[in-house]
Copies of this chain bind each other. A is one copy, B any other.
Amino acid sequence: MATMVGVTANPGTGNENAPQPACLVGVTGSIGLSGNVNGMVYTAFSYDLAKCVAEKILGGSASDQDISDVVAELTNMITGNLKSQLCDSGFNCSLSIPSVVRGDDIQVSAKTASVSVRNDYTIEDCPGNLVVQAFAAVEH
């Protein structure tokens, strides 16, 4: 966020045992992980947050397509960062392309995931919130 948008993201306390299904609202990016760790990462930007962040990045008004593109790119960066940290910890994995899901009442679950973690973020100078929900199964 500091690099792309020039603002700070403030994390919540996080939940290392997040309930399934997770309920998400707004513009949600998703990326699959495969390798020593298999999983799916969802980044749910509330509509007002997605619009605010996109307009900060683009420096003007943002269309729905612009907003989806920004969410896809931020999802790529967030998940790429997670991938680096996983690799550093010995869990090599590769990423799929980002896709974007829009909807007001999206419930996501992944039964085969032994790991379900979630954290909420607020973004400086923007309304709404960002929910990052990750599901993973670790190969032994």
Contacts and interface: CB of A to CB of B under 8 A. Distances in A.
A20 B136 CA distance: 28
A96 B21 contact: no
Contacts of A95: 32, 34, 38
Q: Size band of the A side of the interface?
A: 35 or more
- A interface: dominant SS: strand
Contacts of A38: 95-97
Copies in the complex: 2
A133 to B, nearest CB: 10
A122 interface: no
A100 interface: yes
Interface of A: 21, 30-35, 38-40, 42, 68-69, 72, 94-113, 135-137
A106 B102 CA distance: 6
Given A32-B97, A96-B96, A101-B101, 20 more contacts: A21-B102, A30-B32, A31-B32, A32-B34, A32-B95, A38-B95, A38-B96, A38-B97, A40-B97, A40-B99, A68-B111, A72-B112, A97-B135, A98-B112, A99-B135, A100-B108, A100-B109, A101-B106, A102-B106, A102-B108
